[in-house]
């Protein structure tokens, strides 16, 4: 446990400080409200790590570690891909501290950025989110990706296979953008572990 706390402290800067990046024009993926939030990266893209700890990691709740490999359309590991994620807290709301700027006013502060390494690997640590209050939607983690030579676009949310709200009807709505986003978590004691590989361009409109 002390190991995870130390890692969370060392990575706090990479997940919470702020810098600016220019947003180039692009058309891949179709409409994408809020995808430009990826440019609110905590540090310049070139300095991002392939692992990220979200701000709730040291809070009480079900800890979750998700890892995977991002693949190019030709099946090779994709290095240098930026991944932006955000989600609700355990009560199902996007929590605010009151000083949020940009898309943080809507996405809240439970968000993070990472960049795949030379093997295409990424990993993030957070608490498992909750469903929206008074709703029946499955709990989820939003995700946007940006390849080095392409514009940003959204892929399917991270969902949870054991979620009571992930019904057959909900599963039929899934587009499999970027591949299967349904997580099968494994309880390893101090946390839940899950894996999701991402396939760039898969089911993405106008992908070149």
Q: What is the pLDDT of residue 123?
A: 98
Give residue-wise pLDDT tens across range 67-117.
Answer: 999 999 999 999 999 999 999 999 999 999 999 999 999 999 999 999 999
- As assigned by CATH, the class of the 2-199 domain is mainly beta
- Cβ neighbours of residue 98 closer than 8 Å, sequence gap 6 or more: none
Q: Cα–Cα distance between 182 and 194 in angstroms, integer?
A: 10
Q: What is the pLDDT of residue 26?
A: 52
Which among 46, 184, 64, 164 has a CA at the least distance from the CA of 116?
Answer: 46
Residue 1 has pLDDT above 80, yes or no: no
- Cβ neighbours of residue 156 closer than 8 Å, sequence gap 6 or more: 143, 174, 175, 176, 177, 178, 179, 180, 181
Q: Which of 20-29, 127-136, 176-185 has the lowest mean pLDDT?
A: 20-29
Percent of the chain with pLDDT over 70: 88
Span 24-29, mean pLDDT?
A: 70
Q: What are the boundaries of each domain within the chain?
A: 2-199
């Amino acid at each position: 446990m002390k190991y995870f706390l130390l890692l969370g402290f060392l990575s706090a800067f990479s997940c919470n400080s702020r810098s600016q990046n220019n947003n180039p024009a692009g058309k891949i993926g179709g409409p994408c409200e809020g995808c430009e939030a990826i440019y609110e990266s905590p540090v310049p893209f070139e300095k991002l790590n392939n692992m990220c700890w979200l701000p709730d990691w040291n809070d009480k709740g079900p800890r979750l570690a998700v890892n995977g490999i991002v693949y190019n359309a030709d099946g090779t590991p994709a290095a240098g891909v930026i991944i932006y994620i955000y989600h609700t807290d355990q009560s199902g709301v996007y929590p605010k501290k009151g000083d949020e700027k940009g898309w943080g006013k809507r996405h809240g502060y439970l968000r993070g950025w990472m960049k795949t390494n030379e093997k295409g690997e990424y990993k993030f640590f957070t608490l498992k989110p909750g469903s929206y209050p008074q709703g029946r939607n499955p709990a989820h983690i939003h995700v946007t990706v940006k390849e080095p030579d392409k514009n940003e676009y959204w892929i399917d949310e991270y969902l949870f296979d054991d979620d009571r709200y992930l019904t057959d009807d909900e599963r039929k709505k899934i587009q499999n953008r970027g591949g299967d986003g349904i997580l099968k978590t494994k309880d390893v004691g101090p946390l839940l572990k899950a894996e999701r590989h991402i396939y760039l361009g898969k089911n993405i409109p106008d992908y070149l």
